[in-house]
Structure 1
Amino acid sequence: MALTLGRLSVNNGFRRSVHHITLNSVKGQRFYSTISKEERKSAGPGKVLSEVPVFVNRGASGTVISERRGTVMLIGINRPEARNAVNQETAQRLTEELSAFDQDNSLNVAVLYGVGGNFCAGFDLKELAHTSDSFKLEQDVSRGPGPMGPSRMRLSKPLIAAVSGYSVAGGLELALLADLRVVEESSIMGVFCRRFGVPLIDGGTVRLPQLIGLSRALDLILTGRPVKAQEALTFGLANRVVPDGQALQVALELAEQVSAFPQLCLRADRNSAYHAVFDSTSFTQAMQYEFDHGLPVVVAEAVTGATKFSLGAGRGGTFSKSKL
């Protein structure tokens, strides 16, 4: 059943951000800078800004861009002029990209980020104000995407959010979809939609309390106040805090490290943790699920891993391919 919204008139007050696109020497590709024009001007001649070049085919440009890096998929929200606020087209593209990632057996980890200095400023309220008469939402959460796109998904593989600038309202909900959040020092997170009477209907009231506890979640949900990176780290909302301009690079490195582990074991443990938090009816049921889904991995991967350890690999807690 679809729900049609009545007309809503809102000015989101977001300033326009400039994003550079320059041709790259690789034929048929473009170079998308992760640093905005304003950041370049303010940095001065003596400061080096970190950025991750993202190359995409010409046909792949649009409101969402993606690029494969080995077993890692980079997915970027590409509406910097609107601080990467999500409109209907972007929501559909995000859903398509994350669905394709989840179904691709050759990919292990995805990184979600925002192009041009902001992660995501939520749903595009300007579009909602002008299209609300024809804007329809699927009310059955098991049958279709959410307003922000992939927010109702439960991925079978890890997703890491590289958070820069604003990650607010629906943008915060997209960040909560990720397993890990790498957050830049100047980033701001929060339920900013509180100011406009826009409810959290993309999982914010579901994931946030489980992630940081009910008391802290209600602090954010009721007040709509901004949360800076260090406080987010204290809450557990951020997993890593990094210097400005480095979130995407650190998230990519983290994704590559996670991707280097035996994947059957990693996914079984990850899925068991999600089951225990969201689906289990009791401690005993959660323990049974963990055992039942972990046992096949013992045969598939653990015996091989134990053999490597007996031959000297990983002694003293060292990682040959990972800095974790």
Structure 2
Amino acid sequence: MAESNLVLTDTTSNPGISIISINRPQRKNAVDPATAKKLYEAMLAFEADATQKVCVLTGTGDTFCAGADLHNVAQKTVDSPPAENLQPVNDRNLGPMGPSRLIVQKPVIAAVAGYAVAGGLELSLVADMRVVEEDAIFGVFCRRWGVPLIDGGTVRLQAIVGLGRALDMILTGRPVGAQEALAMGLANRVVPKGQALQQALDIAKQLIAFPELCMNTDRRSAYYSAYEASSFQDAMSQEFNAGVKVVSKEAIAGAAKFSKGSGRHGSFKEFSKL
């Protein structure tokens, strides 16, 4: 497959929503260095485009991503020069799976079908939410082959599901189905087979309808608390200092809408339904 087609980006079908698709179905969307770079570039382009508000990350065919392309890895030797995507962490640089070292600056929703395993699991964790088809499988399948988690799996997974559940998955490598993933907080929605992408798009459309600055500020504060804060007080201070800047820009206008009758009794009527 031509390198230009390894990752597909659609920014026009759904205004404000970028659909980024891994496009190696013949390899179960396993990621080789060229695909990793394309994914990384696509995510940076999404961040930089002010017209794009939410990203949906998915895979073509019947699988989200089966991890790193082990056929490619098997061709390497201990003396092979490190690939561009195998450089040490340096802020937001390219990772082995592409955008794995990013905390993306705008919302990302993963639409997961089939397998999201090994590096594919790690890639799904880059997203804020995971919409999962009922037959989807997560797992650290690379446990069998001595391939470590180097794309945030040990960092993000335990932040999302808790240390005990994360270690169960990390140590055993066992498959985790959609319903178990939902119960542990790894999946946010479970949908019938073939509907993950549409459900992810529906959620993305709802997010676009909300005041953008406020939503992204709260999102950033949550990530700061999870990964960067040195203490409870530090997290609380960051939340307040970031949030108070939004009050004059969006909160006053929102309060005025409420005072005129919008959103009473918890109604989301003016927004699309989740």
Give the structure 2 partner of residue 119 of structure 1. 64
- 1:314, distance to aligned residue in structure 2 (A): 1.0
Query: Which one-letter code corresponds to 2:247 in the other structure?
Result: V
- Change in CA separation of 1:141 and 1:192 when aligned onto 2, cut-off 3 Å: farther
Distance 1:300 1:170, change over 3 A: same
Report whether the alignment pairs 1:213 with 2:162.
yes
Q: CA deviation at 1:61?
A: 5.5
CA deviation vs aligned residue, 1:130-176 (integer Å, no higher than 9, x gap)? 14524432113426211101000111111000000000000000000
Structure 1 CA distance for aligned equivalents of residues 112 and 239 of structure 2: 31
Q: 4+ runs of 1 displaced by more than 6 Å?
A: none
What is the 5 A alignment of 1:156-235?
Answer: 156-235=105-184
**Cα distance in 2 for residues equivalent to 1:295 and 1:276:** 17
- Number of aligned residue pairs: 266
Matches of residues 1-324 of structure 1 in structure 2 within 5 Å?
62-68=5-11, 69-132=14-77, 133-136=80-83, 137-142=86-91, 144-319=93-268, 320-324=270-274
Residue by residue over 1:228-257, the C-alpha shift from the partner in whole angstroms, topping out at 9 and shown as x without a partner, is: 000000010000000000000100111111
Partner of 1:46: none
Q: Contact between 1:74 and 1:111, CA under 8 Å: does it hold in 2?
A: yes
Unpaired stretches in structure 1, ≥5 consecutive residues: 1-58
Deviation at 1:318, TM superposition (A): 1.2
Identical-residue share of aligned pairs (%): 56
Whole-angstrom CA distance in 2 between matches of 1:91 and 1:278: 24
TM-score by length of 2: 0.94
How far residue 317 of structure 1 moved from its aligned partner, in angstroms, is: 1.2
> What is the alpha-carbon distance in structure 1 between the residues aligned to residue 89 and residue 58 of structure 2?
28
Q: Counterpart of 2:166 in 1: which secondary structure?
A: helix
Query: Taking structure 1 as reference, are residues 92 and 261 closer, same or farther at Cα in structure 2, changes over 3 Å only?
Result: same
Amino acid at match of 1:63: L
Q: Would the aligned equivalents of 2:89 and 2:95 in 1 still touch at CA under 8 Å?
A: no
2 CA distance for matches of 1:239 and 1:88?
29
Could you tell me how far apart the structure 2 residues matched to 1:153 and 1:180 are? 15
Asked if the contact 2:137–2:175 (Cα under 8 Å) also holds between the matched residues in 1, the reply is: yes
Aligned to 1:25: none
Segments of 5+ residues of structure 2 without an aligned counterpart are none
Equivalent AA in structure 2 for residue 84 of structure 1:
N
